[in-house]
């Protein structure tokens, strides 16, 4: 079922997972999800990673090759759909493939029954010149390609072609993308993605309901009228209080930080983090958010604890 159709029925719940590292199996993902699927999860997002250029030694010589640290997004998508009978939303990146290769991957996803996609650009600093020159530079360009396929417009001429029927999600940054000079310019880029055909938005993680409210108000003022789902991440350790802002360029409210600093044990930190996140979820849903998207990062314990608080069981 499409994300936008499910939203029309009521508030949705989705989680995001990482593919396993190269060479690892899917059992750890199954173990985490088996604990979570008792809750009303509507969608599972599967991230995708672009290749990074690296050097490997082959037959006594050093070779420069592209390497994806966590491959397997398409395979995991199919496996989760089969195991849990749930809608899975694979991420599609601008980087790592040219537009013709992307079209082939989209055809594969369409053939296995995927109806929802999440389109992101990917990060410049992880890319080499060899990878970047064949890639889209903006997510809006990739959104347009997918929208064209929905209208039966393929890159290669096709006889008796059938249109795809993808529901397209894109990322929004309530505190702006770190590369943008200001939030206003970042919002204009978001509008470009919606104008190209995006159906819904999932935000970068937020830790304050007022940050989400302001973002929605700015979006509506720009006639961005698609559903905007807030992204959240349970922070259950003092260490994460400091590492998350460095990695994701987000702010964490001072009262929460102070409470975590006052915790005497790791167990107390965990409970403080769960309580704060559960309250945030309730505030967002009460405000009227169309749903909640949880960045689990492959770890189900803290997410399960939050779901227990919010949904019971």
Q: What are 244's two structure tokens?
A: 């998350």
Whole-model pTM? Answer: 0.92
Q: Name the residue range of residue 87's domain.
A: 3-311
pLDDT in tens, 51-69: 777 777 777 788 777 777 7
Residue 132's pLDDT is 54
Question: Is pLDDT at 125 greater than 60 in this prediction?
Answer: no
- Number of domains the chain is built from: 1
The CATH number of whichever domain residue 204 belongs to comes to: 3.20.20.220
Percent of the chain at pLDDT exceeding 90: 78
pLDDT in tens, 148-191: 999 999 998 888 899 999 999 999 999 999 989 999 999 999 99
Q: Which residue has the tokens 């809608």?
A: 87
Residue 158's pLDDT is 86
Residue 24's pLDDT is 87
Quickly list DSSP for 48-110.
Answer: ----EEEEEEETTEEEEEEE-SS--HHHHHHHHHHHH--EEEEEEESSSS-HHHHHHHHHHHH
Mean pLDDT of the chain: 92
Question: Is pLDDT at 129 greater than 70 in this prediction?
Answer: no
Q: What are 309's two structure tokens?
A: 């608080």
């Amino acid at each position: 079922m499409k994300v936008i159709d499910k939203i029309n029925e009521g508030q949705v719940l989705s989680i995001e997972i990482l593919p396993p590292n190269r060479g690892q199996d899917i059992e750890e993902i199954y173990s985490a999800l088996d604990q979570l699927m008792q809750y009303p999860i509507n969608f599972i997002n599967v991230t995708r990673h672009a290749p990074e250029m690296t050097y490997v030694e082959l037959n006594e010589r050093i070779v420069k090759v592209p390497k994806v640290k966590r491959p397997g997004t398409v395979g995991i998508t199919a496996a989760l759909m089969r195991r849990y009978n749930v809608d899975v939303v694979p991420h599609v990146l601008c980087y790592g493939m040219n537009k013709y290769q992307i079209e082939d991957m989209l055809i594969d996803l369409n053939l296995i029954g995927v109806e929802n996609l999440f389109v992101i650009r990917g990060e410049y600093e992880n890319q080499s010149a060899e990878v970047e020159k064949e890639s889209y530079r903006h997510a809006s360009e990739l959104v347009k390609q997918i929208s064209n396929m929905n209208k039966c417009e393929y890159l290669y001429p096709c006889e008796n072609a059938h249109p795809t029927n993808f529901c397209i999600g894109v990322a929004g940054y309530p505190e702006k993308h770190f590369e943008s000079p200001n939030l206003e310019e970042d919002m204009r880029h978001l509008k470009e993605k919606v104008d190209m055909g995006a159906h819904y938005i999932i935000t970068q993680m937020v830790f304050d309901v007022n940050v989400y409210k302001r973002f929605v108000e700015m979006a509506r003022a720009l006639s961005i009228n698609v559903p905007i789902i807030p992204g959240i991440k349970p922070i259950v350790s003092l260490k994460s209080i400091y590492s998350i802002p460095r990695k994701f360029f987000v702010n964490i409210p001072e009262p929460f930080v102070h409470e975590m600093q006052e915790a005497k044990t790791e167990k107390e930190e965990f409970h403080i983090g769960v309580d704060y996140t559960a309250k945030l979820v309730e505030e967002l849903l009460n405000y009227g958010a169309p749903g909640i998207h949880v960045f689990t990062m492959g770890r189900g314990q803290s997410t399960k604890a939050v779901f227990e608080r919010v949904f019971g069981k």
